[in-house]
Amino acid sequence: MNIIEAMDDPGVFQPWFAGASWDAWKAVLRAAFALPMSEADLATFARLAGGRKPPERRVRELWIVAGRRSGKDSIASGLAAWSAGIEQGHVGKLRPGELASVLCLACDRDQSRIVKGYADSYFTAIPELGGMKIRETRTGLELDNGAEIVIATNSYRQARGRTILFAIFDECAFWRDESSATPDIETYRAILPALATLPDAMLVGISSPYRKAGLLYDRWKAFYGQDDDRVLVIQAESIELNPTLDPALIAEALAADPAAARAEWLGQFRDDIAGFLDIELIEGAVDRAVIVRPPRPGLAYVGYVDAASGVGKDSFAAAVAHREGEEVIVDLAHEIRPPFNPQTATAEVAELFKSYNIGKVNGDKYSAGYNIEAFAKCGITYEYSERDTSQNYIETIQLFTSGRVRLVDNKRLVAQFAGLERRTSVAGRDRVDHGPNANSHDDISAAVAGVVAILATKKVPVKITPEMIAQISAFGRGERARAQFERAGDRRLYGFGGFG
C-alpha cells in the first residue's frame, strides 16, 4: 500500500486526511514517490515546484518549504507511521538483531512531543498498526517487524550506529544546538551514510522558512525548480497546502508585520534577518585547545558580566580579556548554568576576576542594583555598561572581520556567536540577538562581546616596564617621542583608545 492509498483508505489514515483540503499535499507526495498523477496534480505540482518536471523515480530527498498551519506535522508523522508500519521497505534487508529506524528529529522538545502525539494516535486508533507494537519507549515505538520509530530533538548523534529507513527533519530551519555551530548541516552529513544501506530509504526536510542560511535554504537554493530525480524541493504558501485557513487572518498578519508574515504564511525566506557573522570568521578566531589563558604579570585585564537569577534557562556568564597591540585576546569565558544560587555564582566569578587583578567590572543593566551590591560584598566594583548587548555585538564585527580578536576554545561560545541574528528595522537600525528557538541562548557570547567591545573602544592602562622607559628615553620626550613611536608602529605602549 503506497502512501496515497494509505491516506485514502478508511481503515488506515483516511480519518486524518479526509477531504479535498489535502489534495495539494497528495500531489506533492505522488510526485515524490513517482506515482501516477492527474492533470490537476500536475498543475498543482508545477506551481509548488518552481515549474520543474515530476521526478521519474522515487526521490532520495524531499524538501518542503511551507508556511505555518499548513499541515506539516500531520504529514511528517503520517510518513513516519506509513514507512515503519505499512510500506516496511526494510523487511528482508536487515541482519539478525538489526533495527531499521524511522527517525523524526524536531527543533525542540515541545515540537517533538507534538509529532510523537500524532504518531502515537495512528498506532492507537488503527487496529492493524496497534497490533505491531512491541513496546513504547521514551522517544517512540518499537515494532514487531524490526522497525522502530524514534522522535527526538535534532542531534547528529541520533544517527550514529543506526540503519535509517526514513529520516524526517521537522522545522529544520529553526534547529539550534549549544554544542554545534551548524547542527542542521552536521546532522544531515551524519544521516546520509545511515541511509545508504536500504534502497528505498528517504530523507524528508519539512519546515517553515526563516533566514537565508542553513541547510534548508541551501537545498532550496540548489534544487528548487531544477529537474532532478534525486532531490525534490517544494515551496508553498500556507493556504495552498491548507485551503481551510482564513485569508483575512493572513492579510491581517501581512499588514501588521510584512517581513515576518511573508515567512510564516507565504513560505518565503526572510530578507530582514541575516546571520551575525560567517561561521568561518568565528571559528577562525578560535585558538584551538586553549581553554583558558592564565593571568600574566604586566598585563591589564578587563572583565564583563552577563548575570542571571539562577532560575530559568539563562546562565551566569563572565569574560576576561586583554589587549596586545591591535588585537583583543579573550583569556577566560566562564559560564555557570542554571539552576544556581546567584550569591554563590557572584562569589565564584568575583574570585576569578581577582585572580586577574581586576577590581572593577562592567555588565548589563539586568538587576543592576543587586549586582552592584553583590559584587561589592566580594570586593569588586560593578558598573553597568553604556551599551546594550546588541551594541556590544555590533562593536565586535570589525574585529572579527579583520582578524583582530582571539577566542578561547569553547564550543558553546562558538555556537552562540554562530546562532546570533542581525535584524534591520524599518528605520534602518541593526539589532543583534539570539534566534527565536527555545534552545537559543547568548549568555556566554554576550559576556565575551561585552569585554571585547570595551577593549575595542576605550583606553586601556598599560604597565610601564623599565625596558619601556629606556626605550622612551632613547627617543626623547613629549610630542617628539610620541611621533617617533607612532612612526615605529609601537603605539600600544601608550595604551591609546581604540585601534586607530
Residue range 148-161, pLDDT digits in tens: 999 888 777 777 77
pLDDT of residue 396: 92
Residue range 1-50, pLDDT digits in tens: 999 999 999 999 999 999 999 999 999 999 999 999 999 999 999 999 99
Query: Which of 53-57, 136-140, 298-302, 383-387 shows the lowest per-residue confidence on average (mean pLDDT)?
Result: 136-140
Residue range 69-108, pLDDT digits in tens: 999 989 999 999 999 999 988 888 888 888 899 998 988 7
pLDDT of residue 153: 80
pLDDT of residue 361 exceeding 50, the answer is yes
Report residue 333 CA to chain centroid gap: 20
C-alpha to C-alpha distance for 39 and 176, rounded to whole angstroms: 41
User: Tell me, which fold does domain 279-457 have in CATH?
Assistant: Nucleotidyltransferase; domain 5 (3.30.420)
Backbone angles phi, psi at 72, to 5 degrees: -60, -45
pLDDT of residue 194 exceeding 80, the answer is yes
Q: How would you class 161 by CB atoms within 10 Å of its CB: exposed for 0-12, middle for 13-18, buried for 19 or more?
A: exposed
Residue range 388-424, pLDDT digits in tens: 999 999 999 989 999 999 999 999 999 899 888 888 7
C-alpha to C-alpha distance for 164 and 199, rounded to whole angstroms: 11
Q: Report, as an integer, the average pLDDT of 172-192.
A: 84
pLDDT of residue 492 exceeding 70, the answer is no
Regarding beta strands 163-170 and 202-207, do their DSSP bridges make them parallel or antiparallel, or are they unpaired?
Answer: parallel
Q: Report, as an integer, the average pLDDT of 449-475.
A: 68
pLDDT of residue 495 exceeding 80, the answer is no
pLDDT of residue 167 exceeding 60, the answer is yes
pTM greater than 0.85 (yes/no): no
pLDDT of residue 489 exceeding 70, the answer is no
pLDDT of residue 347 exceeding 80, the answer is yes
Residue range 201-226, pLDDT digits in tens: 999 999 999 988 889 999 999 999 99
pLDDT of residue 439 exceeding 80, the answer is no
Any idea of the CA torsion for 110, 114, 116, 120, to the nearest 10 degrees? 150
User: What average pLDDT is seen over the chain?
Assistant: 87
pLDDT of residue 341 exceeding 90, the answer is yes
Task: Look up the CATH superfamily of 3-270.
Answer: P-loop containing nucleotide triphosphate hydrolases (3.40.50.300)
Domain boundaries, the chain: 3-270, 279-457, 464-500
pLDDT of residue 12: 94
pLDDT of residue 445: 95
Q: Report, as an integer, the average pLDDT of 431-435.
A: 82
Between residues 286 and 182, the one the model is more confident about: 286
